[in-house]
Amino acid sequence: MDLLDYAWAGVLAVFQGPVLFSIFGLSISATIAMVLFGFLNGIFVGATPGLGGPMAMAISLPILISIFGFSSDALLPVMGCLIGIMKGATVGGAVPAILFNTPGTPDAYLTTLDGYPMAKRGEARRALKVAHFSSASGDTFSDLVLILCAPFLATLVERYLDLPEKTALLILSLSFIAAVIGGSVAKGLLSAGLGIFVAAIGTGEDFYPRLSLGTDMLAQGFPAVAVILGVLILGEVFRGLEDLARSGYGRPTLPGHAPPGPPGNDKIRHLPWQDRRPLLPHIARSAMIGTAVGALPGIGSTLAATLGHAAGKRRHARKAPDARAFGTGAPEGIAATEAANSAVSGANLIPVLSLGIPGNAAAVFLILAADSIGGFNPGPAVFRYNQDAVNPELIIAFGLFATMLLANLINWTVGGTVMRSMAIMTRIPKHILLPVVLMLTLTSIYVQETRMAALWFVIGFGILGYVMRRLDISPLPFVIAFILGGRLEETARQAYAATGNDPFFLATSPISAIFVVMSISVIVLAQYRRPTTAS
């Protein structure tokens, strides 16, 4: 098979995969149906303050696996649904920010600066159309960069990096993530170190389980789904419930909430070209910023939205000094923010597919899905190309590219309409929402694990996640280090053996030595730039 054959096989795996149902004799692939289902639910979740794409992906993953099973045919439907949720939640997040001045996520705060003033002027519909057009444009650009860059980067890694270099690269990735996430380098390192420690319990290559305290419960290690969902999801739910208890369980007020203004020109059905044209420079710039930021593990969409908004603001003030300024209801402000944070979603999969390194919480659940089902191991080996032998993982990779483009097509066609109909979701009280999320999470865990021990594990790690948040320790380095811990140990063991048991194997090649120096430099420079941050 040549490369075009692999690409075509991936497309066929999406459109001619397992049939979910038929309509008038037309068979509908399970993957297509799940991408559509995930995207629509993602908009639903993104428009609901207090929820988010990673939370919906966490709840959905165990349920999807219980429905589709662990066969190779389950990979594309399950991951297609997760990709749909990720993209839909990004689009839907602009709804509460524009209509009710309620940023569901930190990056959505910048959308409120111009979106909510437009809504108060009676231009809510126009603001939502600008947000959708900008978000879909940035997301599409990012996906195209992913399709072009991920195979190229993976090929470079396979060709030039051996075991010592790959070990050093994993160390560099963990150091970078620990240094840039959160307000303190020390807390980031503590979080990552704790994740590696938890990953080491009950595992290893010894003849007996390590760190198990002689108990059968710990001898097999912690279920990955229980650890990740506990720290990321239940920890957030527990903190939200405590905040509600302190506020008396009253219905949360929407900050800055006011009814939309007079209709004005809010009855437009399509965003005209004269409105789109001034947005294009801001969308193009922010899409490139968001893609560049998203390709770096651990940084996330908040920084991308901030940089995109700041760059757009400077250009707008210089090129259009007489136009409405950013922060006063300028459509260009919405475009600059939404294009940047949406471009992160596709670019975040570049390190996932090419290196096997998750860059954000959404990517964590895609890797967890691949690990749980099996048959697909994100990393450089995915894009290993050999005309004499078929690489099934490369077919899956092209299938994932096809699902992302399919999700973008759905976004361009029906995403805007569904997005504008989700305003009612902003009115769900948190004292109803959070217990529902808690029960759904526990149910989804039990559906996959079918043993009470998993529930105790997820509750325990939920408490850990709650404590970490209260101490202002980001749980994301913990989760990423937990995922990469086993791979780091395995690669380090193989590199140690391949170099003749050389304890200084990380210094045996210039590339691995450079990676180690870069790891130390990232931590030192990050600490130097934030010398007054409390640890």
Whether residue 534 lies inside any domain: the answer is no
Please compute the mean of the pLDDT values over residues 220-243 and round it to a whole number. 85
Number of domains in the chain: 1
Residue 249: phi and psi, rounded to 5, are 55, 20
Both tokens assigned to 123? 């231009």
- For the stretch 515-525, pLDDT in tens is 999 999 988 88
Whether residue 535 lies inside any domain: the answer is no
Whether residue 98 lies inside any domain: the answer is yes
Q: Which of 56, 23, 35 is nearest to 440 (CA)?
A: 56
Q: How many CB atoms lie within 10 A of CB 524?
A: 12
Strand, coil or helix: 186 = helix
pLDDT at 311 (0 to 100): 87
* CA-based R_g, the chain, Å: 23
pLDDT, greater one: 327 or 64:
64
pLDDT at 267 (0 to 100): 57
pLDDT at 533 (0 to 100): 37
- pLDDT-above-90 percentage for the chain: 16
Domain that holds residue 422: 3-529
For residue 264, name the pLDDT band (cuts at 50, 70, 90): very low
pLDDT at 455 (0 to 100): 87
8 A C-beta contact, residue 135 and residue 339: yes
Whether residue 306 lies inside any domain: the answer is yes
> Is pLDDT of 430 > 80?
no
Whether residue 352 lies inside any domain: the answer is yes
Whether residue 522 lies inside any domain: the answer is yes
pLDDT at 409 (0 to 100): 94
pLDDT at 78 (0 to 100): 93
> Is pLDDT of 276 > 60?
yes
For residue 287, name the pLDDT band (cuts at 50, 70, 90): very high
Q: What does the alpha-carbon distance between residue 340 and residue 358 come to, in Å, rounded to a whole number?
A: 19
Task: Please give the span between the terminal C-alpha atoms of the chain, in angstroms, as a whole number.
Answer: 54
pLDDT at 106 (0 to 100): 64
pLDDT at 133 (0 to 100): 92
Whether residue 166 lies inside any domain: the answer is yes
The pTM assigned to this predicted structure is: 0.85
